[in-house]
Structure 1
Amino acid sequence: MTAKLRVGIVGCGAGRTHLVEGYVPNAELFEVVALCDLNEERLAAVGDEFGIAGRTTSFEALLAMPEIDVIDICTPPGLHLEQSLAALAAGKHVVCEKPLVGSLAEIDVIMAAEARSAGRLMPVFQYRYGNGVAKAKAVIDAGLAGKAYAGTVETFWRRGPDYYAVPWRGKWKTELGGVLMAHAIHPHDMMTYLMGPVDRVFGRVDTRVNDIEVEDCLSASLRMQNGALVSLTATLGSADQLTRIRLAFENLTLESDHAPYRPGEADWQIIAKTPEIGAQIDAVLADWEFVPSRHTTQLRLFHQAITTGAPLPVTTADARQALELVTAIYHSSETGADIALPLDAGHPKYSGWAPAA
């Protein structure tokens, strides 16, 4: 019989999504035993909806529950560092929503704390998972793509005054960034998941759509470590909403589904350059088993890693790579410079990417 991991969720907004997409579909692997939220009305509503008896408004009380194996952190970004460190210090495993923290310095503190702890921490990058992106990854991993040439990532979403009426959104201190940090970080992570690490970055960000502190438009040009050239474009002012990833390789071109929040779910276009390559792709995918999307698969793989000691599906090192790209784009936009990665403790934005003003 598979051992269940017992979970306490803090933050019932995004936490409800984790329940619907992650814990309920994997009920044989997890038992959510407690919820924590400062909003007692929301706490009661989510607890009643999912039949979860354990409820508290105190994060400290949640940490003190000996029956909990995993703390799932779904609070506003400005709280992630403190709560992740406390959960690791308590010996709990941690699942934490993006962005994990607000600087490279803070992620290095998290990584050091994880190394000392009996617990392991998995950042949430659920867009990596789904049947379409899994097929694309399988074809690449089979060596069929060949040399990487170029790619584009478009995150064309819409966010307006209603979205930013939530007090912590749109502010450097509490949301930690705008479209680059809070929205496009997911498609950008999908791109590096398929294309590998970034080598150099030139970027621009601007606030053109909303009356907020943080940016809501961006454009960036990347050179990948494999030599490919990739462009990133994002806005929160699009009339329609789509996420589109298109990657050109020597032997094939991949294009994602365009669903804004589930670009990995539906089948991707896999365009072979020759009939022979097409036949090899068909052979790789011949006995394909369906891969559920988003949290359903990421949390299933998390359970497997925790119970067997296997590598986590997403690691703090992956989160650091994502935050290096964020830091480099913000720094490039501020200075007009082309930025080389990786970034270490000597980088001017190591302790935070928010503008000095």
Structure 2
Amino acid sequence: MVGTGVGTKHAKMYQTLPDLYEVTAVCEIDEHRRNEFVEQIGVSYQTNRLEDLFSQDLDLIDICTPSALHFSQATAALQAGFHVVLEKPVARSLSEMDELERVEQQSGKHLFPIFQYRFGHGIQKLHHLISKGLVGSPSIATAETHWLRGEAYYSRGMWRSTWDGAAGGSFATHAIHIHDLLCQVLGDPISVFAQASNCVNGYETEDLGVVLMNFGNGAMASSSVTLGSTEQMSRLRFCFASLTAEGGRDPYNPGHEPWTFSHDDPDQQTRINNELVDFSPRPERFSGQFVRIHEALAGKGQTPVTLEDARRSIELLTAAYWSVKTGEIVQLPLSSDHPFYSGWIEMMKQEFVRDKV
């Protein structure tokens, strides 16, 4: 484990799968947090330098550090001969994504991006109904990421409030999960329009915004994001030709049940209900992704989240920030000569005035 913030959650989930994983080493620059991790998880090796892990007998390195470190640390671990699990956002530009893909291929190892919400039981049911041909073509979807983040959140790591540290705000750090779920169901967006501001907390990065997306299958989606909702919730709603699917309101698990799948025709509703009676969902969230990663490494399953999936999320971020900056509707895919191909951070730093309210 590299990083002990959300990394501690990762480690605890690995420990629920003792037949598949053993957590044996930790890298953390903060001595107090490192000692806490050792006490909680019980690892035999600890260090404050990533390179020290490369001499250990490890199969996989899980990186959960601040966003600014993801690219360099993942690159180093792959080149040192380790499989890598990497928290979101995987990179801070499309150029970094393309370089990670090159390094992964050259290393012969695998990089597994984290998108644990994909494996919620509710979203699993939706994908099951899609596979059975019971949903029809999609028309429109809505996503809401309405969370509350104030001084307590930012004081635990002021990098979270800066472009340099976090590569963005509510789009890059919070809504990135629900946007991944939208694209997992609807496919690749072909155009993006976005607006954003920092009027909730007044730090450098956006904490309020909307994103409108068009997809190649004709579907449209809207996403509203705020870090100033006193009642926290996340929710997805998809309208298909043959059913409407709506998720629950759990802010940190929008793919989890309860989900509803409804149709106005009683016979069609019965078919939907009957199809779900015998459906047995697989493990969800982090443990669900880790089970699937082990299967992929053992040659018993497909890679649960690919670098291509992660690149799509970074391309969506790139397009959204360019739209915020210019007011344009952005057509996708983006080419390597796009002004934000190598990153949006420097050009976005002055977009919002730092004026705490």
Shift of 1:355: 4.8
Q: Does 1:205 align with 2:196?
A: yes
Q: Does 1:117 align with 2:107?
A: yes
Q: Does 1:290 align with 2:290?
A: no
- In the alignment, is the contact (CA less than 8 A) between 1:70 and 1:94 conserved in 2? yes
- In the alignment, is the contact (CA less than 8 A) between 2:248 and 2:254 conserved in 1? yes
Q: Does 1:76 align with 2:45?
A: no
Query: Quick one: which amino acid aligns to residue 89 of structure 1?
Result: Q
Q: Distance in 2 between matches of 1:232 and 1:107?
A: 24
Which of 5, 25, 31 pairs up with 1:13?
5
Q: Per-residue displacement from partner, 1:253-297 (whole Å, max 9, x unpaired)?
A: 011111000111223111123222223223332322233321010
Q: Does 1:62 align with 2:53?
A: yes
Which of 152, 167, 173 pairs up with 1:176?
167
Partner residue in 2 for 1:231: 222
- In the alignment, is the contact (CA less than 8 A) between 1:172 and 1:214 conserved in 2? yes
Q: Does 1:26 align with 2:24?
A: no
Which of 287, 303, 328 pairs up with 2:319?
328
Which piece of structure 1 moves more, 228-237 or 164-173? 164-173
Give structure 2 stretches of 5+ with no counterpart.
351-357
Partner residue in 2 for 1:93: 83
TM-score, normalisation: structure 2 = 0.94
Secondary structure class of the residue paired with 1:31: coil
Partner residue in 1 for 2:310: 319
Secondary structure class of the residue paired with 1:102: coil
Secondary structure class of the residue paired with 1:200: strand
Secondary structure class of the residue paired with 1:308: coil
Give structure 1 stretches of 5+ with no counterpart.
1-8
Shift of 1:313: 0.3
Secondary structure class of the residue paired with 2:277: coil
Shift of 1:309: 6.4
Query: Quick one: which amino acid aligns to residue 78 of structure 2?
Result: L
- In the alignment, is the contact (CA less than 8 A) between 2:209 and 2:224 conserved in 1? yes
Partner residue in 1 for 2:27: 36
- In the alignment, is the contact (CA less than 8 A) between 2:3 and 2:64 conserved in 1? yes
Runs of 4 or more off by more than 6 Å in structure 1?
Answer: none
Q: What's the Cα RMSD here?
A: 1.2
- In the alignment, is the contact (CA less than 8 A) between 2:15 and 2:23 conserved in 1? no
Q: Distance in 1 between matches of 2:264 and 2:93?
A: 42
Q: Distance in 1 between matches of 2:336 and 2:54?
A: 31
Secondary structure class of the residue paired with 1:169: helix
Q: Distance in 2 between matches of 1:164 and 1:267?
A: 31
Q: Distance in 2 between matches of 1:91 and 1:337?
A: 43
Counting aligned pairs with the same residue, the percent is 39
Query: Quick one: which amino acid aligns to residue 11 of structure 1?
Result: G
Partner residue in 2 for 1:163: 153
- In the alignment, is the contact (CA less than 8 A) between 1:132 and 1:268 conserved in 2? yes
- In the alignment, is the contact (CA less than 8 A) between 1:197 and 1:225 conserved in 2? yes
Q: Per-residue displacement from partner, 1:107-137 (whole Å, max 9, x unpaired)?
A: 1110110111121001000011121111111
Secondary structure class of the residue paired with 2:317: helix
Query: Quick one: which amino acid aligns to residue 153 of structure 1?
Result: A
Which of 18, 39, 43 pairs up with 1:48?
39
Secondary structure class of the residue paired with 1:244: strand
Q: How many residues align?
A: 347
Secondary structure class of the residue paired with 1:168: helix
Q: Distance in 2 between matches of 1:54 and 1:142?
A: 48
Q: Distance in 1 between matches of 2:281 and 2:258?
A: 11
TM-score, normalisation: structure 1 = 0.94
Q: Distance in 1 between matches of 2:33 and 2:297?
A: 30
Q: Distance in 2 between matches of 1:256 and 1:353?
A: 32
Q: Distance in 1 between matches of 2:250 and 2:96?
A: 33
Secondary structure class of the residue paired with 2:145: strand
- In the alignment, is the contact (CA less than 8 A) between 1:133 and 1:267 conserved in 2? no
Query: Quick one: which amino acid aligns to residue 158 of structure 1?
Result: L
- In the alignment, is the contact (CA less than 8 A) between 2:292 and 2:301 conserved in 1? no
Q: Distance in 2 between matches of 1:205 and 1:317?
A: 26
- In the alignment, is the contact (CA less than 8 A) between 2:14 and 2:287 conserved in 1? yes
Q: Distance in 2 between matches of 1:42 and 1:355?
A: 31
Partner residue in 2 for 1:4: none
